[in-house]
Amino acid sequence: MPDNTLTLIGPRIKGWREKRSMTLAELSRAAGISASTLSRLEAGKRAPNLELIVPIARELGLGLDDLVPRTAPDPRVPRTTKHVDGVRFETLSLESSPVQTYKITLPGKPKGGTEVPDPQVHEGREWLYVLSGRLRLVLGEQEVTLGSGEAAEFDTRVPHWMSAAGPGPVELLSIFSKEGKRIHLRARSTPR
């Protein structure tokens, strides 16, 4: 536990004790800790330890998390890149996130080549935002082309497929459920 975290425990104990309208002597007796020890702890002159904090938390009707400040985890997302059949996926969310966010780069459509959609179906919803290029999105029987700055949202139980709409690549942000992550990282188009 970092030192700055330890210095916050005493004031928190005092704050909770006062919210409970307890005197120092009352909490001292109930927790089985001397009044002088409790006073020094609240003033930051005594280092907190579990032997002191656990009975105090119990008598105040609190969990240890209420007395010991949580440290915020590093909010940065480790960047990983995965290539699947020419499609580049860059992670923009933590693996533990309830939704997965990726920057996806789809290669341009080859000259003279046509792609036959291999639609995917799975539980969840997907949100797309086109950063650059033009995106061909097939949803069931419907086909739409999205340009830079356009967004789409759809139910992933509808058969869906996407590719670049022209010879240049398309970059997009995609947000979907973990089930969607599994499907998208193995999906591919079928060249004709």
pLDDT digit string, tens, across residues 55-86: 999 999 998 888 887 777 788 899 899 999 88
User: Domain check: are 13 and 49 in the same one?
Assistant: yes
Q: Is 44 within the bounds of a domain?
A: yes
Q: Is 135 within the bounds of a domain?
A: yes
Provide the CATH number for the domain around residue 182.
2.60.120.10
What average pLDDT score do residues 13-29 get?
Answer: 93
Q: How far apart are CA 180 and CA 190, in angstroms?
A: 19
User: Domain check: are 114 and 52 in the same one?
Assistant: no
Confidence of residue 183 (pLDDT cuts 50, 70, 90): very low
Among 186, 122, 127, 115, residue whose Cα is nearest residue 158: 122
Q: How far apart are CA 47 and CA 54, in angstroms?
A: 14
Q: How many domains does the chain have?
A: 2
Range of the domain at 143: 81-191
| Residue predicted with more confidence, 184 or 112 | 112
User: Domain check: are 111 and 180 in the same one?
Assistant: yes
| Residue predicted with more confidence, 5 or 24 | 24
User: Domain check: are 90 and 184 in the same one?
Assistant: yes
The confidence score (pLDDT) of residue 83 equals 93
pTM of the model: 0.60
The confidence score (pLDDT) of residue 182 equals 47
The confidence score (pLDDT) of residue 178 equals 61
Q: Is 58 within the bounds of a domain?
A: yes
